[in-house]
């Protein structure tokens, strides 16, 4: 079955691509295997120079790459441009800091001297999603390559042109043969790639179901895995919050990328004494969103990436309403071409319903009322996920105390949850395990080798 590149704004097929033949897949795997030792032995300064050249290429091709993202997965053009900018910043970061992150750690022991060295692990398979089709790839590839590991990319099937464009960027930046390759293969062929002797680790960003399958396949072969899965991030508004700032940020935190983000705010937990005032502000902000063509600058709400994702979201909304949630805005697909869904606001969301318990991956905000701060914390932590979360209060010390008790990988006080190359990123629970970005991320795919010398 061919991979289809579909424009979500109009629903039309732009291009079709045949899956990679088994012979071509074998050639790519062998090329990565052959590149592993030479790339590991390449001086880190040269590996980082590749990243610096990639940053230059990303900035030079920014307009065309952003237009590709918008055309293939529907992201607003301004958000697509920002995604390319962020990839360039990431490459710059590791080009500058990788050597420091990977330097030997000298530790006193009974040896004459002893240390921990960061040695390359081998080929890394990156199984990546469509929602940030460049950023997710670079977030894995840049540190892996800097650490001396070749990378194989298995991208989402609905962004094949983005996957090929990324491979073109690496070639143009001078990546040696086999150091970075895109594999246009179906999901059912991933396990065979994991089983290949050259592949030593897997990084997956995607659904819980995909994470469980990949973790099982890698675990059966004792190969390292990092998983960044779904989220149902709480956005907690305490009684002393700046409601104007909180509500303005809430709209951006929920509806950016049409709500198709693992770290989007999904459950708005508001202390009862300020609920009505916050809800009024949130509703006003949502009503101001302008769905439309994501290539036009005046559009502020993008379409969803695929028809099946829109249909699944609508079923979750319907089930949540049937379970007691009150529909204040939206709750339906928009008429016309493309995969547009109305910006939706649910109030009085009930435990056990999809809007409370599951991840709603689209433009739907769910509001829950908390009696007080203690109740708000219980609601925030009443989830099987644990990716991100935020808390809003005029008292930053109070906010930090609250954040430390949130069961998640990233807790933000008076700020929207986001990823930053300088800070580790990842989750707990059903949001996965392992970390990306910063020193912690680059050290996920190295052999921390103890060296003891008399």
- Dist. CA 133–CA 160, nearest whole Å: 10
Q: CA dist 50 to 3, 59, 143, 168, 429, Å?
A: 30, 14, 12, 14, 35
- Dist. CA 255–CA 278, nearest whole Å: 17
Q: Is the pLDDT of residue 277 over 80?
A: yes
Half-sphere exposure of 263 (CA within 13 A, CB side): 24
What is the three-class DSSP state of 236? strand
pLDDT, residue 441, reads 98
For domain 3-228+428-453, give the fold: Aldehyde Dehydrogenase; Chain A, domain 1 (3.40.605)
Tell me which architecture the domain covering 233-413 has in CATH: 3-Layer(aba) Sandwich (3.40)
Give the residue among 4, 7, 9 at the shortest CA–CA distance from 302: 9
- Dist. CA 324–CA 309, nearest whole Å: 23
- Token pair belonging to 224: 């390292």
pLDDT tens per residue, range 370-424: 999 999 999 999 999 999 999 999 999 999 999 999 999 999 999 999 999 999 9
Q: Is the pLDDT of residue 368 over 90?
A: yes
Q: Is the pLDDT of residue 2 over 90?
A: no
Q: Which of 72, 81, 83, 228 is catalytic?
A: 228
262 annotated active-site: yes
Q: Which residues contact 370 (CB under 8 A, 6 or more apart)?
A: 236, 269, 270, 271, 272, 376, 379
Q: With beta carbons less than 8 A apart as the criterion, state whether 271 and 239 touch.
A: yes
- Dist. CA 349–CA 330, nearest whole Å: 15
Q: Which of 48, 91, 140, 262 is catalytic?
A: 262
What is the three-class DSSP state of 238? coil
pLDDT, residue 22, reads 97
pLDDT, residue 1, reads 72
- Domain boundaries defined on the chain: 3-228+428-453, 233-413
- Dist. CA 322–CA 245, nearest whole Å: 32
pLDDT tens per residue, range 314-327: 999 999 999 999 99
pLDDT, residue 296, reads 97
pLDDT tens per residue, range 159-203: 999 999 999 999 999 999 999 999 999 999 999 999 999 999 999
What is the three-class DSSP state of 19? coil
């Amino acid at each position: 079955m061919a991979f289809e590149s579909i424009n979500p704004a109009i629903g039309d097929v732009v291009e079709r691509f045949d899956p990679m033949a088994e012979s071509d897949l074998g050639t790519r795997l062998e090329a990565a295997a052959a590149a592993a030792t030479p790339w590991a032995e390449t001086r880190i300064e040269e590996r980082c120079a590749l990243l610096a050249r990639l940053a230059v290429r990303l900035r030079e091709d920014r307009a065309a790459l952003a237009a590709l993202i918008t055309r293939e997965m529907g992201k607003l053009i301004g958000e697509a441009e920002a995604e390319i900018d962020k990839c360039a910043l990431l490459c710059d970061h590791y080009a500058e800091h990788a050597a420091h992150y990977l330097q030997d750690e000298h530790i006193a022991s009974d040896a004459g001297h002893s240390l921990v060295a960061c040695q390359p692990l081998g080929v890394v398979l990156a199984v990546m999603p469509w929602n940030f089709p460049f950023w997710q790839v670079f977030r894995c590839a840049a540190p892996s390559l800097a650490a001396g590991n070749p990378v194989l990319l298995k991208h989402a099937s609905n962004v094949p042109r983005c996957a090929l464009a990324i491979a073109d960027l690496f070639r143009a930046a001078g990546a040696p043969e086999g150091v970075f390759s895109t594999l246009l293969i179906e999901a059912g062929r991933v396990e065979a790639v994991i089983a290949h002797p050259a592949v030593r680790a897997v990084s997956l960003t995607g659904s819980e179901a995909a994470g469980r399958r990949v973790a099982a396949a890698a675990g059966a072969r004792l190969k390292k895995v990092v998983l960044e899965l779904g989220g149902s991030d709480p956005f907690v508004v305490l009684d002393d919050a700046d409601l104007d700032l909180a509500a303005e940020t809430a709209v951006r935190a929920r509806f950016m990328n049409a709500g198709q983000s693992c770290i989007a705010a999904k459950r708005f937990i508001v202390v009862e004494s300020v609920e009505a005032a916050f809800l009024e502000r949130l509703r006003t902000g949502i009503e101001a969103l302008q769905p439309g063509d994501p290539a036009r600058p005046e559009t502020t709400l993008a379409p969803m990436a695929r028809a099946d994702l829109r249909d699944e979201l609508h079923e979750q909304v319907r089930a949540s309403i049937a379970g007691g949630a009150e529909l204040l805005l939206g709750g339906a697909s928009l008429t016309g071409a493309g995969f547009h869904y109305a910006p939706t606001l649910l109030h009085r969301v009930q435990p056990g319903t999809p809007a409370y318990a599951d991840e709603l991956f689209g433009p739907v905000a769910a509001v829950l009322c908390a009696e007080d701060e203690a109740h708000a914390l219980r609601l925030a932590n009443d989830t099987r996920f644990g990716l991100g979360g935020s808390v809003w209060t005029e008292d930053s010390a109070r906010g930090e105390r609250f954040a430390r008790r949130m069961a998640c990988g990233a807790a933000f006080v008076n700020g929207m949850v986001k990823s930053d190359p300088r800070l580790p990123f990842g989750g707990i629970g059903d949001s996965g395990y392992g970390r990306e970005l910063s020193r912690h991320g680059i050290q996920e795919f190295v052999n921390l080798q103890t060296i003891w010398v008399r």
